[in-house]
Amino acid sequence: MFVFYIVSFLTAAVAFLFALYLYLWVKKHKIENKEIERISLLIKDGANTFLKREYKLLAAFAIAVAVLILIVFPHPIWKSNPADNVLTAIAYLAGTALSALAGKIGILVATLSNARCAEKAQKGLKDAFLLGFRGGSVMGLLVVGCSLFGVAFVLMITGKASILLGFSFGASSLALFAKAGGGIFTKTADVAADLTGKVELGMAEDDPRNPAVIADNVGDNVGDVAGMGADLFDSNVAAMTSALVIAQSLSGSLAATEMVFAYSILGLIASIIGIMTARVGKDGNPTRALNSSTYVTTAIFLILTAVSTALLEGFSWRIWLSSALGLIVGLIIGLTTDYFTDDTKPIVKKVAKASSSGPAFTILSGTSYGFISSAPAMIGIAISSLVSYKICEPIGEGYALFGIAMAAVGMLSIVGMIISNDAYGPIVDNARGLAEMGGLGEETIKVADELDSAGNTVKAVTKGFSIGAAGLTVISLLGAFMSETNSALRELGKDLINGFDIMDPSVFFGLLIGAAIPAVFSAMLILGVDKNAERMVAEIHRQFNTIKGLKEGKAEADYGKCIDIATKGALKELIPAGLVAIVSTLLVGFIAGSKAIGGFLVGNIVSGLLLALFMSNSGGLWDNSKKYIEADHEGGKGSDAHKSAVIGDTVGDPYKDTAGPSINTQITVVSLVASLASSLFAAFSIFG
């Protein structure tokens, strides 16, 4: 086993060094255009200001939770071995810290890459693409390196997978708020900028006269770079953690534990190779470049893990199959998402056509296709969990659930590549904004547009991945919850739980309430964006009315004020929604007991997956329908269809960038809270 820890550390170190190399590579490109440099600094400062204030708030929250963990988790400190509580609390803090660090450095590189990417876009796709992609890769490598390092380190020191639950909870509680806070910030700015600039005044996207334009670009960074990085750090850690918790309870647990690390190590190596191969020719297609490097990574991962299975003792081919299945189902989910959101496919065209009958039809058709699009992914997750279970069942007791956990690990194995693709999006989006604001001319903006559109398409695929992985991970966390609960019940001398029967009224009770949580949670986030955007719209109107010469481009807008509003609003709105999820879990557990929590978690997964898929996909669909119309279809820009599509896009923005991806994290957080509190529920519930 020791050798696996060492290799994990070494691989993480390679990832960090490679990230450093890419960082220096990005940095050595010099920015020549002073205006671009100035604006890019404004964006950087805005992002850092937000992060600093967000992390300050979250640090207070994390410390409070750590104290709570110290006192009562995994057992009340006066009843158990206090070392466990101390270690869990420290692991929790380490999880939050690593998550914050990855986000922070991701933003550092992203705000470095955006200006450079914009400048290079003057000379065509090739270098601009590389700057965008490699900037994103720094974040991808850091996230995967940190998760591999963190998980290996915690397990090596403590030897207990259950303490990893604390580490994982740290990662996911920070992700919950980073995603929600960043998501509210970015959509506040985006929606307000679009409504006032584009719709009211007919300005172009990223017009520098718009007071919200810098806030909009800051939002891309804090929402899509830092938030998304935290999200996938969380998913990756949670997938490894749940696999390791189950692995430790197996007979032959050593080989199972080794497999988890081996697969994660090989996934990181495959991602590094994949990142190196990503390139686009002078007139090449950036979407194809991103996709083909994803396929390369997938293939390398499958080959490397097959080799490891053949060579290493105790590595099972059945597990390999499950993990391959998870990865392939992830790709399939991504592809169906692509079918529903890509503007070369029929659905986007249908919604664009419906838009010419008015905005109500944009909304109705987008909503409908969004709901339909959730079905293939749900079926895919259902099949992969059932098949992995059946494949791995014959290995021995408990291996069936381990198979599902390894399907999730497989799906997330190439996460380094996924994040690189995903972080590429906001960087080139920013580059497009800088090209516009810096006046680099039509030709450059066109190049930047092409890069940006590739980012949008690939984003859909990566979102499918992360939602699918969350689904599978949470299934295996359910197993972790049950085994934690049973060990608590055993100590208390109570009857063990042998499952969660739907016909048991407590389970059904939990199921119904759990299903309502993602709906309430996402609604609160959307309302947060709503309220905040209204405040910012008022501020923009104030600036246009009181700053002389602003409309004519002769005076500069007060960008800082808009950033300030987005920041304050996001911080104010991010806590309540997260608390609803956490507190309702504790309430159900303490009132109705462990069985109710089993139902609660499942209700939460099921409705959470449904809503996350619906929101992500319908949002992407509306965004691309608008872009499709802007490319001179259905009357093009300024037509009635376009006006309707802009409304659809505005509705879709908080769906796809605030609520949808946050639901993902909400599911994981709730599962981890339940696992951590399992012994308390077993001991203290009122009606359990």
- Interacting residues with its own copies between 500 and 559 (CB under 8 A): 500-513, 515-516, 519-520, 522-524, 526-527, 529-530, 533-534, 537
185 or 424: CB nearest its own copies: 185
Instruction: Write down the least CB distance from residue 481 to its own copies, Å.
Output: 10
CB-neighbour burial class of residue 344 (10 A; exposed 0-12, middle 13-18, buried 19+): exposed
d(CA 386, CA 599): 19
Q: Which long-range contacts (CB under 8 A, 24 or more apart) does 51-54 make?
A: 51/103, 51/104, 51/107, 51/222, 51/226, 53/567, 53/571, 54/177, 54/178, 54/181, 54/182, 54/222, 54/567, 54/570, 54/571
CB of 230 to its own copies, least distance (A): 24
Q: Residue 298 CB: number of other CB atoms within 10 A?
A: 22
Contact 174, 264 (CB under 8 A): no
What is the helix (H) or strand (E) element at residue 343, kind and residue range?
A: none
Please report whether residue 207 would count as binding its own copies according to CB under 8 A: no
Interface segment toward its own copies; rule CB under 8 A; list 54-62, 191-199, 281-289, 670-678: 191-199
What's the sign of the alpha-carbon dihedral 518, 100, 169, 68? negative
Task: Determine which residue in the list 85, 111, 337, 365 makes contact with its own copies, applying CB under 8 A.
Answer: 365
| Whole-angstrom distance, CA of residue 354 vs CA of residue 96 | 45
Answer for which of 124, 358, 396, 560 binds its own copies (CB under 8 A) is 358
Q: Is 118 in the site for its own copies (CB under 8 A)?
A: no
Residues 152-171 that bind its own copies (CB under 8 A): none
DSSP assignments along 653-685, one per residue: HHIIIIIHHHHHHHHHHHHHHHHHTHHHHHHH-
Whole-number Å distance between alpha carbons of 323 and 193: 44
Alpha-carbon gap, residue 221 to 209, rounded angstroms? 21
CB of 433 to its own copies, least distance (A): 22
With CB under 8 A as the contact rule, which of the stretches 162-170, 280-288, 442-450, 477-485 interacts with its own copies?
A: 477-485
Taking the complex as a whole, the smallest distance from the CB of residue 487 to its own copies amounts, in Å, to 16
Tokens for 232?
């996938």
Residue 237 three-state SS:
helix
Work out whether 46 is an interface residue with its own copies (CB under 8 A). Answer: no
Nearer to its own copies, 430 or 585 (CB): 585
Q: What type of residue is 119?
A: E
Binding segment (CB under 8 A) for its own copies, from list 26-34, 227-235, 350-358, 571-579: 350-358
Under rule CB under 8 A, how many of the chain's residues touch its own copies? 81
d(CA 528, CA 568): 11
Q: How far is the CB of 264 from its own copies (least distance, A)?
A: 24
Min dist CB 246 to its own copies, Å, is 12
Which is closer to its own copies, CB of 155 or CB of 610?
610
Query: Which residue among 363, 445, 612, 670 contacts its own copies (CB under 8 A)?
Result: 363
Task: State which of residues 89, 609, 621, 629 lies at the interface with its own copies (CB under 8 A).
Answer: 609
Q: Which of 361, 547, 551, 560 binds its own copies (CB under 8 A)?
A: 361
Residue 72 sits in the site that holds its own copies (CB under 8 A):
no
Q: Which of 262, 304, 299 is nearest to 277 (CA)?
A: 299
**According to CB under 8 A, which one of 51, 72, 175, 191 is a site residue for its own copies?**
191
User: What is the CA 338 to chain-centroid distance, rounded?
Assistant: 17
Residue with smaller CB distance to its own copies, 217 or 607: 607
Give, as ranges, the residues between 481 and 500 that touch its own copies (CB under 8 A): 482, 498-500
In the list 354, 415, 469, 680, the residue contacting its own copies (rule: CB under 8 A) is 354
| Contact by Cβ (8 Å): 374, 614 | yes
Binder among 204, 307, 382, 555 for its own copies (CB under 8 A): 382
User: Residue 3, exposed/middle/buried by CB under 10 A (0-12, 13-18, 19+)?
Assistant: exposed
Residue of 169, 369, 465, 559 interacting with its own copies (CB under 8 A): 369
Q: Which of residues 578-607 bind its own copies (CB under 8 A)?
A: 592, 598-599, 602-603, 606-607
Q: What tokens does 278 get?
A: 């990503």
For the segment 651-680, give every residue that binds its own copies (CB under 8 A): 651, 654
The interface region with its own copies, picked from 302-310, 368-376, 444-452, 632-640 by CB under 8 A, is: 368-376
Residue choice 374, 567, 664, 679 for contact with its own copies (CB under 8 A): 374
Nearest CB to its own copies, comparing residues 35 and 397: 397
Instruction: Say if CB 592 and CB 502 are below 8 A apart.
Output: no
Asked if residue 610 binds its own copies (CB under 8 A), the reply is yes
The answer to whether 199 contacts its own copies (rule: CB under 8 A) is: yes
The terminus-to-terminus CA distance of the chain in angstroms comes to 40
* Distance (Å, whole) CA 129 – CA 517: 40
Which one, 337 or 421, has the nearer CB to its own copies?
A: 337
Binder among 18, 92, 129, 389 for its own copies (CB under 8 A):
389
> Which residues, numbered 256-295, are part of the site for its own copies (CB under 8 A)?
none
Residue 20 found at the interface with its own copies (CB under 8 A) = no
Closest distance of CB 400 from its own copies, Å: 7
Q: What are phi and psi of 544, to 5 degrees?
A: -65, -30
Rg (CA), the chain: 24
Compare residues 145 and 359 and give the one whose CB is closer to its own copies: 359
H-type helices in 312-398, by residue range? Answer: 317-341, 346-355, 359-392
Site map (CB under 8 A) of its own copies, residues 391-420, x = contact: ---------xx--x----------------
Near its own copies by CB under 8 A, which window of 68-76, 99-107, 297-305, 471-479? Answer: 471-479
- Under the criterion CB under 8 A, does residue 461 sit at the interface with its own copies? no
CA distance 10 to 5: 9
